[in-house]
Structure 1
């Protein structure tokens, strides 16, 4: 009777994985705006080619060492010189940033809101 409970963690994992796979063009565009507006571009460069402050991210979407869950963790918790953004970004915003970074073509962000 408890067999459903055994599979519950697996279902959560599959649901989370499906959420990463469901990147929409709207998520990618929102992620582009967040990249610009939340300071990511300041350190990583508006063109994602890196600066003296932080590495390039232009090819991170195809880098097998950086799957979506690792990107999410790094944004949440920071690393080496990168500060954590856990307290300044919502889960939705983090998912949008990951969608942008994983996109085949990184679109320019829409114009900033006034």
Structure 2
């Protein structure tokens, strides 16, 4: 399943925001610090690709394939942030670096890192 990094970021943001309650385009725009028009275009593209669903009241929910991607990316974010902070990287820098790394790291490499972290009880 190939998807652009920007779409992954949107899906991850929707997942995180949905843990706090309903998600609307304005919430995504605020969280990502993007303009409302650019968020609107991307959100509608994600809906057309069946990654998300937009209800009549504007609430956004993840469709199954969107949720799978969001959860995969968010897991990478959490694990990579934990690894970086455990080796001494300041938390804000670790968060920013993990955000970049989560999109480009191979599945094999991530699985090895995750296994190591789990065995070392770093999470």
Relative to the length of structure 2, the TM-score reads 0.27
Q: Which has the higher strand share?
A: 2
Q: Which has the higher helix share?
A: 2
Higher relative contact order (CA 8 A, sep 6+): 1
